Structure 1
Amino acid sequence: MKKVLITGANKGIGFETARQLLKNGYYVFIGSRNRENGEAAVEQLKSEGLVNAEAVHLDVTDPDSVQAARTTIGNKTETLDILINNAGINGGFPQAALASSIEQYKKVFDTNLYGVVRVTQAFIDLLRQSIEPRIVNVSSSGSSLTLHSDPSWKYYSHKAALYPSSKAALNMYTINLAYELRDTPFKVNAVCPGFIATDFNSHRGTGTVQEGGARIAKYAMINNDGPTGHFIAEEYNPVTGETPW
């Protein structure tokens, strides 16, 4: 049975992604910053008959927590097949370029970028043991520099300095990570789940968690002919999913 770690998986898109992967026969480690919330999420899944789920305390902003999670999972398995870097924060609003403080930037980047780096580096050895390792970095079409520079884009006026900047940086990390792993079985992609109604955006999104979870799970399960080093946003491009950086 293939094994998956999803950060920030106790609710929202991360939780739904876990549900969909469990239904597809995967064993899922539910990473959660709050231990109790993670346990509650697992109990919910088990009540649905999805028993191959396990909560792992994991705060991506805390190096000690990340290493403790690596030890916990490493004591249970020698192989991790999929890592989904889903944990993220929006940084609150408004996010004016001239008014947002350096501390606000640091807080958002600590979760959305540095957290991804911490977790990926901590678990890369377990991922290397997989025959078909996959890394999905949950991104946003709102981080596209090309789209945000295009006045004809429908979200052109929806500017924010913190969250999109952190995801744009995550996209560059994804490109570099995919390049470093280019001669291996790894598939590494940045995937946008879409504008999904969750607590993350005060339920202002237009899509469902089922749609968002399906998009993330799809690229976690891609076969060896699938893409790597790509930026995928199926809500933006329903045909190919390919999105300009």
Structure 2
Amino acid sequence: MEEQRYAVVTGGNKGIGFEICRQLATNGVKVILTSRNQSRGEEAVKKLSESGLSDAVFHQLDINDPSSIACLAKFVQTQIGKLDILINNAAEDGLVILDVKEFRDGGGFLQVVDEKAHLLSNIIEEPYELGEKCLKTNYYATKKVTESFIPLLKLSKSPRVVNVTSGYGHLYWFHNEKFIEELQDIDNLTEERIDEIIQWFLSDFKVGKLKENGWPLTVSAYKVSKAALNAYTRLMARKHQNILVNCVHPGYVITDMTYQTGPLTAEEGAKGPVMVALLPDNGPSGVYFHQTKIAPFSIPEFASFVKAFYEGK
């Protein structure tokens, strides 16, 4: 008889996170759905139960609060004794949409490219404080959650870590050659150097030197946070070879974070993370998935991949 699998999903009360929980439960995985807000999390579990998926339970989690992470880890340790799947989905976007109607009418995030940065100042604002919070959440807090669950994942026969990333986190979007070279050189990259690169970005962001030093000009902090997460994913895969650690871009999905824009539903967006969470034991590790397809980390190959993907080839 197959051993029961258990999963923790961060940011699981709505959007892609909720759909990940639903699809995992449909596949027989017992899910610990987490969110910062207790009532919303409990309501999400109730919604799953009413649809016939009664194995999901709620546990409060604020990934920016170390004591909250520790509380969840203790719960999993005492109630289950191991963890099979960790899906890091919770994230911040680091920006404010000033004119939602104009943003939607203009094509949502499809219009948000560096070449048009000067035309978007009345639509999008990226305050430094939100950018700093974005990096703390998407990179540092996600890293803390992962490290807290590594001991429990090591007790699983088929451990998986899935980091929900973004196409915006690919190095294709960066103009800083030193940054690109360092994050691609995974054999020599260290977590300490990722920290230094993040601080380098924040310093430039604070004094308005993004263009001068080759950083993204639009959705800047979010792009850097996800690029750092992608690099960390590869480092973790190398460090923990008995755990499959991968990152997945779910696609451009209609959620609150995208201000209800995008071509994909949350159900479609969740398919990639769920597929990767359920990879067989001989599956890949340290890999970037664009939805359900493995995509290259190298920039020229990724540019060709993106072109082919959007042309439907």
Return the TM-score normalized by structure 2: 0.70
Q: Is the 8 A contact 2:95 2:127 kept in 1?
A: no
The structure richer in helix per residue is 2
Match of 2:257 among 200, 215, 225: 200
Q: Which residue does the alignment assign to 2:244?
A: 187
> Could you list the runs of 5+ residues in structure 2 that have no partner in the other structure?
98-111, 118-124, 176-215, 299-313
> Is 2:279 aligned against 1:226?
no
Q: CA deviation at 1:225?
A: 2.0
Residue type of the alignment partner of 1:31: T
Question: Which of 284, 287, 294 is residue 241 of structure 1 equivalent to?
Answer: 294
Instruction: Determine the C-alpha separation between the residues in 2 that align with 1:137 and 1:146.
Output: 19
Judge conservation of contact 2:169–2:224 (CA < 8 Å) in 1.
yes
Q: Deviations over 1:91-148 (max 9, x none)?
A: 123697xx85543332001110111111111111110000010000000011111255
Give 1:241 shift: 2.7
Where 2:295 maps in the other structure, the secondary structure is: coil
Aligned to 1:142: 168
- Paired letter, 1:206: P
SS for the counterpart of 1:80 is coil
In structure 2, the partner of 1:214 is 271
Moved over 4 A (4+): 99-102
Q: Which residue of 1 aligns with 2:68?
A: 65
- Provide the C-alpha distance between the structure 2 equivalents of 1:191 and 1:141, rounded to a whole number of angstroms: 9
Q: Which residue of 2 aligns with 1:176?
A: 235
The answer to whether the 8 Å contact 1:233/1:243 transfers is no
1:165 to 212, 221, 224: 224
Tell me which residue corresponds to 1:154.
none
Show the counterpart of 2:201.
none
CA distance in 1: counterparts of 2:127 and 2:18, whole angstroms = 32
Q: How many residues align?
A: 231
Partner SS, residue 75 of structure 1: helix
Larger radius of gyration: 2
% identical equivalent positions: 37
Query: Is 1:129 aligned with 2:155?
Result: yes
- Equivalent-residue separation in structure 2 for 1:192 and 1:233 (angstroms): 5
For 1:123 and 1:20, the matched residues in 2 are separated by 22
Among 55, 61, 64, the alignment partner of 1:52 is 55
Distance in 2, Cα, partners of 1:78 & 1:188:
21
Secondary structure of the structure 2 residue equivalent to 1:200: coil
* Alpha carbons 1:13, 1:213 under 8 Å: kept: yes
Contact 2:6/2:31 (<8 A) preserved: yes
Matched-pair contact (CA < 8 Å) for 1:10–1:38: yes
Partner SS, residue 162 of structure 1 = helix
In structure 1, how many angstroms separate the alpha carbons of the residues matched to 2:161 and 2:227? 17
CA distances 1:65-112 after superposition (whole Å, capped 9, x unpaired): 11111112222111100000000011123697xx85543332001110
Equivalent residue for 1:30, pick from 30, 33, 50: 33
Contact 1:141–1:243, Cα closer than 8 Å, also in 2: no
Q: Counterpart of 2:257 in 1: which secondary structure?
A: helix
Q: Which deviations, in whole Å up to 9, do the C-alpha atoms of 1:190-218 show, x marking residues without a partner?
A: 10100000111111111011111111100
Amino acid at match of 1:210: E
Instruction: Provide the secondary structure at the position in 1 that maps to 2:220.
Output: coil
**Contact kept? 2:138, 2:229, Cα under 8 Å:** yes
Per-residue deviation, 1:35: 1.0
Matched AA of 1:14: G
Distance in 1 (alpha carbons) for counterparts of 2:174 and 2:251: 16
Q: Aligned partners of 1:159, 1:91: CA distance in 2, in Å?
A: 11
CA contact (8 A) 1:18 1:28 kept: yes
Contact 1:191 1:232 in 2 (8 A): yes
CA distance in 2, matches of 1:52, 1:44: 12
